[in-house]
Amino acid sequence: MTEQRMAFKTEVSRLLDIVVHSLYSEKEIFLRELISNASDACDKLRYQALTVPELTGDDPDFKIKVSIDAKARTLTIEDNGIGMSRDELIENLGTIAQSGTSAFIKGIEQAQKGDITQIGQFGVGFYAAFMVAQMVEVTSRKAGTEEAWCWRSDGKGEFSIEEEEKSTRGTTITLYLKQGEDEFLLEDRLRGIIKLYSDHIALPIMLGDEEEPANCASALWLRGKNDITQEQYKEFYHHVAHAFEEPAMTLHWKAEGKIEYTGLLYVPGMKPYDLFDPKRRHGVKLYVKRVFITDEAEGLVPPYLRFLRGVIDSEDLPLNVSREMLQNNPILAKIRQGITRKVLNDLLKHSENKDSYATIWENFGAVIKEGVYEDTEHRDLLLKLVRCHSTHDGNLTSLADYVSRMKEGQTSIYYMNGDNLDTLARSPHLEGYRARGIEVLLLTETVDDFWPAAVSTFDDKEFKSATRAGQDLDKIAPLEKKDDKKEPEAPADAIGSLIALMKLSLSDKVKDVRTSDRLTDSAVCLAADEGDIDIHLERFLKQHNQIRSPSARVLEINPSHPLIRRMAEKATKDGAKDALGDIASLLLDQARLMDGEPLADPEGFSRKLGEVLSKAI
């Protein structure tokens, strides 16, 4: 078959442009990317050969070879891994196979705002070759097949593919170096790069005609902690996580006892773009006795630790374990338990370092809180990891610190859900808490609508939403005010009449009307009854069409507010119902607005407001 030319997918062309011009400050990392791919290719074949040994045949020792031809000015990276068929060459090197196009485009946009490190998550690895090469040739023969194909491109919008001779399986990549890139023709320079970035690769990387590999060639995670430098840990993180930044935490341990495995896991320094994408890639690779098995082991880590990256190498799983066999596998379940406990305990230790932990929490707190909700077994540990904003100060607080600041007589942990901290801080619901110096946790993430109710207690203190009615605020003494000019309350019988009248005129729009302990400055607010669904959660469910009509709320009124006092005074007089009906309805709308609720009837609201205003003039 003769040569065939094809165009890159649009997004590849754009990517190539960015890679070549701005992605990496260190051009030399192209070699790391190509070696990393070669190593992945060997891992894949090693796994397949477990069930089909013929695939590796008489060449069972995997290796990577890097060689130079100074005269031709080419650099070649060769592996005896799984190789690629014609279709795979086109698919893997001509499109962005890994990430959905939309996520990719989003990444590009971020990259153009200067945040280019993000793009490392998209598997641009191979294209890094075009930073130093004017032409790249990939000749590949898939293990178990006879034919070989050559993919060739100058990285400018097109590539070609044609049949070729190749006597051995695997992939050979030849870079025709650009002018000015001659440093990559020097063996010493290449040895330095391999040592720096690829030392942890578990296969020998042979340079030129040398007898000894240029790297350590043993699995990094099996070396002793003392034999590994920070730099090596970091490079391995870059390799497994496709990341560029410093990891926030590195966990390296060996579990001994009934179940034996080695873990080398990282908490990333940045939030992966697909943290909430159900189709996201798995971050933890499963090895069995040093053989790569899969990076799709469902159930290796719990879903709420899905931000972890790294490697687990098991001694107990059978080598011929298939991906299907891993489902509901009891050994895997034990490993997951071990990983979970290790990670949570290490996070807890790490949380003593407030600043560093705050970054981890900012990136992954929303996901960890899913665990508080889902994982009852580790709930106590997870609750110790939780950090929340609160009315105490601008910083995040732990639940233990909250409890240590609880007021005399306070028996519950109060929280309030809302869309953002600003609206929450202004909410009338908080007035009574503020007046008593009671701290309220301010929760703004979707998952916050679920976990406090599910947990019910921390340190024997019950979680209570500050928006519920009938709370025990009266048991806690208000703070002494310096200029204490507390407004007098309206007389009880007048308030009684006002409440009766408001109930009558608002009828089924409210569940009840009551006086409030929680209000100091506002006239009214809406509250959920004990046992009712939380207001913010209800709105969330409504947005997701889980419920249709909102439930009626309790309207709380502030008996010391001047407006309520005037209304109470009027309520005992003749004709009160006509005079106060519109005002009651307006107050209800006002309370809804303060909660960020839309008005049920904007037209009625405007008309009533107009009438009340014109009477007032």
What is the contact surface with ligand ADP in residues (CB under 6 A)?
Answer: 33, 37-38, 41, 79, 81-84, 92-93, 98, 123-126, 171, 242
How far apart are CB 453 and ligand ADP at their closest, in Å? 41
CB closer to ligand ADP, 19 vs 571: 19
CB closer to ligand ADP, 99 vs 329: 99
> Which partner, ligand ADP, Mg ion, none, binds residue 587 by CB below 5 to 8 Å per kind?
none
Q: Which residue is nearest to Mg ion (CB)?
A: 125
> Which partner, Mg ion, ligand ADP, none, binds residue 84 by CB below 5 to 8 Å per kind?
ligand ADP
CB closer to ligand ADP, 49 vs 124: 124
Are 473 and 409 in contact by the 8 Å Cβ rule? The answer is no
As a three-state string, the secondary structure of 102-170 is HHHHHHHHHHHCCCHHHHHHHCCHHHHHHHCEEEEEEEEECCCCCCEEEEEECCCCEEEEEEECCCCCE
How far apart are CB 125 and Mg ion at their closest, in Å? 3
How far apart are CB 14 and ligand ADP at their closest, in Å? 15
How far apart are CB 83 and ligand ADP at their closest, in Å? 6
Q: In this structure, what token pair is assigned to residue 579? A: 């005079």
CB closer to ligand ADP, 83 vs 155: 83
How far apart are CB 54 and Mg ion at their closest, in Å? 27
335/324 Cα distance (integer angstroms):
17
How far does CA 331 lie from the centroid of its chain? 27
Are 386 and 399 in contact by the 8 Å Cβ rule? The answer is yes
> Which partner, ligand ADP, Mg ion, none, binds residue 505 by CB below 5 to 8 Å per kind?
none
User: How are beta strands 309-314 and 387-390 bridged, if at all?
Assistant: unpaired
CA quadruple 363, 366, 367, 369: dihedral, nearest 10: 130
How far apart are CB 78 and ligand ADP at their closest, in Å? 9
303/295 Cα distance (integer angstroms):
14
CB closer to ligand ADP, 202 vs 583: 202
Only one of the segments 124-132, 295-303, 327-335, 579-587 lies at the binding site for Mg ion (rule: CB under 5 A); that segment is 124-132
Element (H, E) at 240: helix 230-241
How far apart are CB 289 and ligand ADP at their closest, in Å? 23
CB closer to Mg ion, 125 vs 452: 125
Q: What is the DSSP string of 430-477?
A: GHHHHHTT--EEEE-SGGGGTHHHHH-EETTEEEEETTBSS-GGGGSP
Q: What is the DSSP string of 474-486?
A: GGSPPPPPTT--P
CB closer to ligand ADP, 55 vs 84: 84
CB closer to ligand ADP, 243 vs 388: 243
> Which partner, Mg ion, ligand ADP, none, binds residue 228 by CB below 5 to 8 Å per kind?
none
DSSP-based three-state secondary structure for 539? helix
How far apart are CB 184 and ligand ADP at their closest, in Å? 18
145/84 Cα distance (integer angstroms):
10
CA distances from 332 to 304, 336, 339, 605 (A): 17, 6, 10, 61
Sites for Mg ion among residues 194-213 (CB under 5 A) = none
Sites for Mg ion among residues 36-65 (CB under 5 A) = 37
**Half-sphere exposure at residue 259, Cβ-oriented, CA atoms within 13 angstroms:** 17
CB closer to Mg ion, 37 vs 558: 37
125 contacts Mg ion (rule: CB under 5 A): yes
Number of residues that bind Mg ion (CB under 5 A): 2
Sites for Mg ion among residues 1-40 (CB under 5 A) = 37
DSSP-based three-state secondary structure for 71? coil
307/243 Cα distance (integer angstroms):
12
> Which partner, ligand ADP, Mg ion, none, binds residue 92 by CB below 5 to 8 Å per kind?
ligand ADP
Are 559 and 523 in contact by the 8 Å Cβ rule? The answer is no
> Which partner, Mg ion, ligand ADP, none, binds residue 589 by CB below 5 to 8 Å per kind?
none
How far apart are CB 163 and ligand ADP at their closest, in Å? 18
Interface positions with Mg ion (CB under 5 A): 37, 125
